[in-house]
């Protein structure tokens, strides 16, 4: 793949009242997609700084100068462009997803000029197009590609068959225009806006994570003060680099805090003391801190005599699996986690997006015999099918054209003696499912280009936000792979079913955020204002959405001198709370009447949707949307 058009520098900036710098978003588009994005961008210039690059990306070397120039927090693209960028970048990449409405609108436009329509789409076919085609009385043939080169190849094959109309992405529509073929872009401005909103959210999280990582890195590696963090029993210790060097501790796993300071930590809370360790004398100060509902101790050391320099020892730091909960349902989940983590059996975790499935997987890792190895998380929906084997199994030098010199270790090998977490397992392509199945059965794999298989010991945890049983029934997921994964099953309940946890998480997060933002307001006062809204809101984004909303509130508290005004401005800070529709409002009455009219017409006209649409004076596509919303079955 090559760049087909020069860069369009689109610096859309605005002055913001926020003290925080704007999130930087780098968009890789192409022709019509770029034009749609440029129109959608204007709604968000007070939240982010956008740079639009109009090109089809062909190599990492083309992307690197733009990354260096703009330093984006997040990347936005679509289709094959997005898939390639995900495979070569460590930055979050948000891909535009084609909605059912996008397909419906595009097909309705195409049906006005053609009886036969060809679609060329990335990665998978649309499930609703056959139904829509029947409603509109047109024939539709769907074609799928995985790379930009494949898209061009598919187009030219279809072009020789003299198509009446083509639906596709901007690359496909651009090719169609070159040959004067009717074409219809499948993207919409609404989808672009949804994508930008998701990108801003992910960019904000990436920026905050970067700041937190910088602080953590400084404390662990740059601070000159030896610091030890221990659990409530003093049994598990985490040391920064200065502590390892100054105290001469090679393996903190074999030591308790009492071994170092000579006292149980609960006997020196918020106090000073003296100790001897490693042949040296030390003063120390001990503080008790509350980390997400769990007591920990932080001990800082100061040498009575200047310690000599020693060689640095670098170890990986693992992300802690912190779960805040008080509900009976989550107590059951924790009991399952602790029981299942002791077994080598595979674990399948179900839960809606944002419920904390990865946190569950990390707790399984940290509380079991596989804690000595790494926790390796893999987003199954983000790895293109043609890169799957190389990413998972690794490859030897020369395994394929363009392979990295010296080869590459796969994600499975990185998880040796640890936990391999396969997130979004339901999104695996059927070919990927087959390759994964053999590895799970044999617990051995062969890197690309290798002659011999490699045995490996690890624990496998998979997660899905869709019931795999339903996907097995529909033929989208292999039954043998499902049964291999489903040794132990954990269902993480959605937040709306856990009101006790909403309160616990909110109080803990508000306290933590107020400390992070250096807000002097009492977090409990803010919680009292938010409390009725927190319990009434359905939380479609679960814990992730709750944390984001709380952060917005704390960010406002940081900017005001009158926190008592929170109740007055809450609808501006959290507009989601004002969109909860009461059960008996006028809008609901109108919708109920409309639904009754549609159902009556379907019954009177024997389910003939074309006649029903004409009778009601709406298009077949609009009728399809209404029936879908009603979950109407013929």
599 C-beta neighbours (distance < 10 Å), count: 15
Residue 8 falls within a domain, yes or no? no
557-578: per-residue pLDDT in tens? 988 888 888 888 888 888 888 7
Average pLDDT over residues 330-342: 90
In this structure, the answer to whether residues 399 and 272 fall within a common structural domain is no
Burial of 79 (0-12, 13-18, 19+ CB in 10 A): buried
Are 239 and 227 contacting, i.e. CB atoms less than 8 angstroms apart?
Answer: yes
Lowest mean pLDDT across 126-130, 158-162, 176-180, 250-254? 250-254
Residue bearing the bigger pLDDT, 495 or 587: 495
b/e map of 155-192 (b: 16 or more CB within 10 Å)? beebbeeebebbbbbbbbbbbbeeeebbbbbbbbeebb
Are 443 and 483 contacting, i.e. CB atoms less than 8 angstroms apart?
Answer: no
In this structure, the answer to whether residues 440 and 559 fall within a common structural domain is no
In this structure, the answer to whether residues 345 and 465 fall within a common structural domain is yes
Average pLDDT over residues 110-137: 92
Give the pair of three-digit tokens for residue 156: 């030219």
Residue 164 falls within a domain, yes or no? yes
240-289: per-residue pLDDT in tens? 888 888 887 766 666 777 778 877 766 666 566 777 777 777 777 787 87
State which of 177, 210, 243 marks the end of a domain: 210
Residue bearing the bigger pLDDT, 307 or 409: 409
DSSP state of 306: P
For position 606, what pLDDT does the model report?
83
Q: Which helix (H) or strand (E) is 394 found in, with range?
A: strand 394-395
Long-range contacts of 8-11 (CB under 8 A, 24+ apart): 8/34, 8/52, 8/53, 8/54, 9/51, 9/52, 10/38, 10/41, 10/50, 10/51, 10/52, 11/49, 11/50, 11/51
For position 403, what pLDDT does the model report?
47
pLDDT at 320 over 50: no
Residue bearing the bigger pLDDT, 623 or 320: 623
For position 586, what pLDDT does the model report?
38
Average pLDDT over residues 215-222: 77
State which of 263, 286, 303 marks the end of a domain: 303
In this structure, the answer to whether residues 38 and 86 fall within a common structural domain is yes
Residue 571 falls within a domain, yes or no? yes
pLDDT at 233 over 80: no
Alpha helices in 167-318 (DSSP H): 170-178, 189-217, 241-247, 257-261
Residue bearing the bigger pLDDT, 118 or 307: 118
Task: Provide the pLDDT confidence category of residue 11 given band limits of 50, 70 and 90.
Answer: very low
Burial of 236 (0-12, 13-18, 19+ CB in 10 A): middle
b/e map of 479-517 (b: 16 or more CB within 10 Å)? eebbebbeebebebbbbeebeebbbbbbbbbbbbbbeee
Opening angle at CA 114, ends 108 and 115, nearest 5:
95
Measured distance CA(122)–CA(191) in Å, rounded: 16
Mean pLDDT of the chain: 82
Task: Provide the pLDDT confidence category of residue 605 given band limits of 50, 70 and 90.
Answer: confident
Query: What contacts 400, CB < 8 A, 6 or more positions away?
Result: 390, 448, 449
State which of 464, 491, 518 marks the end of a domain: 491
Residue bearing the bigger pLDDT, 94 or 54: 94
Are 380 and 427 contacting, i.e. CB atoms less than 8 angstroms apart?
Answer: yes
For position 399, what pLDDT does the model report?
57
Looking only at the bridges linking them, the beta strands covering 74-78 and 459-464 are unpaired
Sheet with 139-145, edge to edge strand ranges? 139-145, 116-122, 165-168, 183-185
For position 97, what pLDDT does the model report?
93
State the CATH number of the domain containing residue 270: 3.30.450.20
In this structure, the answer to whether residues 362 and 480 fall within a common structural domain is yes
Residue 4 falls within a domain, yes or no? no
pLDDT at 218 over 90: no
In this structure, the answer to whether residues 133 and 262 fall within a common structural domain is no
In this structure, the answer to whether residues 152 and 241 fall within a common structural domain is no
In this structure, the answer to whether residues 499 and 360 fall within a common structural domain is no
State the CATH number of the domain containing residue 606: 1.10.10
For position 305, what pLDDT does the model report?
47
Give the pair of three-digit tokens for residue 365: 């890792």
CA within 13 Å, CB half, 364 = 35
In this structure, the answer to whether residues 124 and 77 fall within a common structural domain is no
Residue bearing the bigger pLDDT, 138 or 293: 138
Residue 549 falls within a domain, yes or no? yes
419-438: per-residue pLDDT in tens? 999 999 998 888 889 889 98
Measured distance CA(549)–CA(89) in Å, rounded: 29
pLDDT at 314 over 50: no
In this structure, the answer to whether residues 564 and 478 fall within a common structural domain is no
Position of tokens 């598990």?
236
CA within 13 Å, CB half, 617 = 2
The residue among 111, 50, 47, 54 whose CA lies nearest residue 78 is 54
Q: Is 410 helix (H, G, I), strand (E, B) or coil?
A: coil
Residue 275 falls within a domain, yes or no? yes
Q: What is the pTM of this model?
A: 0.44
> What is the tally of structural domains in the chain?
6
In this structure, the answer to whether residues 550 and 592 fall within a common structural domain is no
The domain of 152 spans 100-186
Residue bearing the bigger pLDDT, 216 or 240: 240
Position of tokens 């419906």?
104
For position 52, what pLDDT does the model report?
92
For position 250, what pLDDT does the model report?
67
The residue among 330, 335, 365, 336 whose CA lies nearest residue 461 is 365
Measured distance CA(47)–CA(15) in Å, rounded: 10
Give the pair of three-digit tokens for residue 330: 């989550």
Measured distance CA(30)–CA(52) in Å, rounded: 10
In this structure, the answer to whether residues 166 and 125 fall within a common structural domain is yes
Are 196 and 71 contacting, i.e. CB atoms less than 8 angstroms apart?
Answer: no
Instruction: Give the orientation angle of helix 620-630 with respect to helix 100-111, to 10 degrees.
Output: 160
pLDDT at 172 over 80: yes
Residue 222 falls within a domain, yes or no? no
The residue among 170, 100, 235, 179 whose CA lies nearest residue 624 is 100
Average pLDDT over residues 115-122: 94
Residue 377 falls within a domain, yes or no? yes
Measured distance CA(244)–CA(228) in Å, rounded: 9
Give the pair of three-digit tokens for residue 500: 């006790």
For position 269, what pLDDT does the model report?
60
For the chain, the first-to-last Cα distance in angstroms comes to 47
Residue bearing the bigger pLDDT, 57 or 444: 444
Average pLDDT over residues 82-111: 92
124-153: per-residue pLDDT in tens? 999 999 999 998 999 999 999 999 899 999
For position 313, what pLDDT does the model report?
22
Long-range contacts of 234-241 (CB under 8 A, 24+ apart): 234/258, 234/264, 234/265, 234/297, 238/317, 241/312, 241/313, 241/314
For position 583, what pLDDT does the model report?
37
Measured distance CA(391)–CA(387) in Å, rounded: 6
For position 267, what pLDDT does the model report?
66
Average pLDDT over residues 298-318: 47
């Amino acid at each position: 793949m090559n760049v087909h058009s020069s860069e369009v520098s689109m610096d859309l900036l605005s002055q913001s009242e926020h003290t925080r710098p704007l999130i930087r978003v780098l968009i890789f588009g192409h022709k019509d997609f770029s034009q749609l994005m440029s129109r959608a961008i204007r709604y968000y210039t007070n939240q982010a700084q956008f740079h639009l690059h109009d090109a089809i990306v062909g190599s990492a070397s083309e992307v690197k100068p733009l990354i260096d120039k703009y330093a984006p927090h997040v990347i936005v693209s679509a289709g094959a462009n997005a898939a390639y960028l995900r495979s070569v970048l460590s930055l979050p990449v948000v891909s535009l997803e084609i909605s059912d409405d996008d397909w419906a609108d595009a097909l309705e436009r195409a049906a006005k000029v053609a009886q036969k329509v060809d679609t060329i789409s990335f990665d998978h076919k649309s499930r609703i197009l056959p139904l829509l085609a029947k409603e509109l009385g047109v024939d539709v043939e769907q074609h799928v590609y995985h790379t930009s080169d494949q898209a061009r190849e598919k187009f030219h094959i279809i072009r020789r068959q003299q198509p009446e109309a083509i639906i596709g992405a901007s690359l496909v529509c651009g090719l169609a225009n070159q040959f004067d073929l009717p074409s219809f872009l499948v993207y919409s401005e609404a989808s672009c806006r949804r994508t930008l909103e998701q990108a801003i959210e992910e960019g904000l999280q990436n920026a905050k994570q970067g700041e937190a990582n910088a602080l953590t890195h400084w404390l662990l590696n740059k601070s000159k003060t030896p610091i030890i963090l221990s659990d409530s029993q003093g049994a598990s210790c985490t040391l920064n680099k200065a502590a390892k060097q100054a105290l001469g501790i090679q393996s903190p796993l074999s030591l308790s805090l009492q071994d170092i300071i000579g006292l149980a930590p609960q006997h020196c809370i918020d106090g000073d003391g003296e100790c001897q360790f490693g042949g040296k004398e030390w003063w120390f100060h001990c503080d008790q801190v509350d980390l997400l509902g769990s007591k920990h101790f932080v001990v800082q050391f100061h040498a009575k005599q200047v310690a000599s320099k020693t060689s640095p020892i670098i170890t990986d730091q693992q992300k802690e699996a912190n779960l805040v909960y008080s509900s009976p349902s989550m107590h059951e989940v924790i009991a399952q986690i602790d029981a299942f983590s002791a077994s080598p059996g595979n674990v399948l975790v179900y839960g809606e997006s944002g419920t904390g499935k990865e946190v569950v997987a990390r707790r399984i890792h940290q509380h079991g015999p596989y804690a000595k190895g790494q926790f390796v998380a893999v987003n199954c929906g983000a790895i293109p099918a043609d890169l799957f084997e190389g990413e998972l199994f690794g490859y030897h030098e020369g395994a394929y054209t363009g392979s990295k010199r010296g080869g590459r270790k796969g994600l499975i090998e990185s998880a040796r003696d640890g936990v391999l977490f396969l997130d979004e397992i339901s999104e695996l392509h059927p070919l990927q499912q087959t390759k994964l199945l053999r590895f799970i059965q044999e617990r051995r794999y062969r890197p690309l280009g290798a002659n011999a298989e490699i045995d490996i010991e690890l624990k496998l945890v998979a997660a899905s936000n869709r019931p795999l049983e339903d996907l097995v029934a529909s033929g989208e997921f292999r039954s043998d792979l499902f049964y291999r994964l489903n040794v132990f099953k954990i269902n993480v309940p959605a937040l709306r079913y856990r009101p006790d946890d909403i309160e616990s998480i909110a109080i803990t997060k508000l306290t933590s955020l107020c400390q992070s933002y250096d807000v002097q307001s009492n977090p409990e006062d803010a919680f009292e204002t938010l409390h009725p809204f927190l319990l009434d809101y359905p939380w479609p984004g679960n814990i992730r959405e709750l944390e984001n909303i709380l952060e917005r509130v704390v960010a406002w508290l940081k900017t005001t001198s009158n926190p008592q005004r929170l109740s007055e401005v809450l609808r501006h800070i959290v507009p989601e709370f004002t969109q909860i529709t009461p059960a008996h409002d006028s809008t609901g009455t109108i919708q109920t009447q409309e639904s009754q009219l549609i159902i009556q017409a379907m019954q009177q006209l024997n389910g003939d949707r074309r006649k029903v649409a004409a009778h009601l004076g709406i298009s077949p596509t609009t009728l399809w949307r209404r029936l879908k919303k009603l979950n109407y079955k013929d």
